[in-house]
Amino acid sequence: MSSRPAAGGGRWVEVDPARLARWVAGFAERHGPPVSTTHEYGLLLSAPDGATAELHTPPGAPAAPDLETFVVQAIVPRRIGLLLARKGAVAVGVAEGDQLPVHKVDTRYVQGRTAAGGWSQQRFARRRDNQAKAALADAVDLAARLLLPQADRLDAVVAGGDRRAVDSALADRRLAPLAALRADRLLDVPEPRYAVLVAAVAAARAVHVLVRDPHRDPTS
Number of Cβ within 10 Å of residue 55's Cβ equals 26
Q: Is the domain defined by 79-203 classed in CATH 3.40.50.720?
A: no
* 3-class state of residue 205 by DSSP: helix
Is the pLDDT score of 180 beyond 50? Answer: yes
Is the pLDDT score of 171 beyond 70? Answer: yes
CB–CB of 14/208 below 8 Å?
yes
Task: Report pTM.
Answer: 0.85
Q: Residue 89 has what pLDDT?
A: 87
Confidence of residue 133 (pLDDT cuts 50, 70, 90): low
Query: What residue type is assigned to position 80 of the chain?
Result: I
Q: How far is CA 199 from CA 7, 99, 107, 209, 219, in A?
A: 25, 11, 18, 19, 25
